[in-house]
Amino acid sequence: MLDLITQTPYFGLVLSILFFILFSKLSTRLNAPILNPLLFSIIAIILVLTVFDIPLKNYQAGGSMIQMVISPVETIVIGVSLYKQKDTLIKYLVPVLVSVTVGCVFVVLFVVFLGNVLAVPQEVLMASIPKSVTTAIAMEISGKMGWIVSITVMFVILTGIVGAVIAPYCIKLARIKSPVSKGLGIGTAAHAVGTSYAITLGEVEGAMSGLTIGLHAIIASMVMPLLIRLLGL
């Protein structure tokens, strides 16, 4: 019976959606940022597959459906977000452009520096560079640059999860009061996953974070390849 259920193409899809909804509700009810829905959904799915000895290919049959829609959906969301927030963008044009560009450059330099210090293999180091860009654009950059796309996706997901979890503590530690600054920081560092947390902080924080995702994607697609060439990587 279990084999019949897990072999259907909808098994992975339904399992992913159910766990995400469950942990989203728990996180909201308990008001616990560390209870990140994406992180705990991944952990729960791994546990289910391991405990019930379900082959990974059974999960991927449905789970891959989610991956198929990521790129087109995120591209549309970026475009819609930029359009909706055009007035906000015009109002804060200079600080937004400067913050996102500096953040993009810093991410590349920090990843390269840390990778060299820790002696990370070159192919892993390169694939981790677009980690702070939203998944669709990160995959595009990684593919165009000849990097390992699957590793890039893994780092993008980890970055978003970690960013969403530690964002409230970083904001508190740095004593950031401005809603605009909070949104800019979260959106630049933790893309869509972080934005899901920024939305809970307030309308301005969510709007600025969503706006930053789109701008960061555009700026990164131009700046990252240029920086790689300048660094001789």
Pairwise CA distance, residues 8 & 192, whole Å: 30
- Rounded to the nearest 10 degrees, how much is the dihedral formed by the CA atoms of 159, 160, 163, 164? -160
pLDDT at 7 over 80: no
pLDDT at 140 over 70: yes
pLDDT at 179 over 80: yes
What was the pLDDT predicted at 63? 65
| Band (176; pLDDT cuts 50, 70, 90) | confident
pLDDT at 4 over 70: no
pLDDT digits (tens, 9 = 90+) for 27-73: 778 776 667 777 788 889 889 888 888 887 877 776 666 666 665 66
Pairwise CA distance, residues 201 & 181, whole Å: 12
pLDDT at 136 over 70: yes
pLDDT digits (tens, 9 = 90+) for 75-130: 666 667 667 767 777 777 888 888 888 888 888 898 889 888 988 888 888 888 88
Mean pLDDT to the nearest integer, 198-219: 80
- Tokens found for residue 176: 């950031």
pLDDT above 90 covers what percent of the chain? 0
pLDDT at 3 over 70: no
Residues 6 or more apart whose Cβ sits within 8 Å of residue 216: 100, 103, 104, 132, 133, 134, 187, 188, 191
| Band (142; pLDDT cuts 50, 70, 90) | confident
Amino acid at 140: E
**Residue 179 backbone phi and psi in degrees, to 5:** -60, -35
* Residue pointed to by tokens 């049959």: 61
- Tokens found for residue 136: 């669709």
- Residue 215 has a CB neighbour count (10 Å cut-off) of 23
| Band (74; pLDDT cuts 50, 70, 90) | low
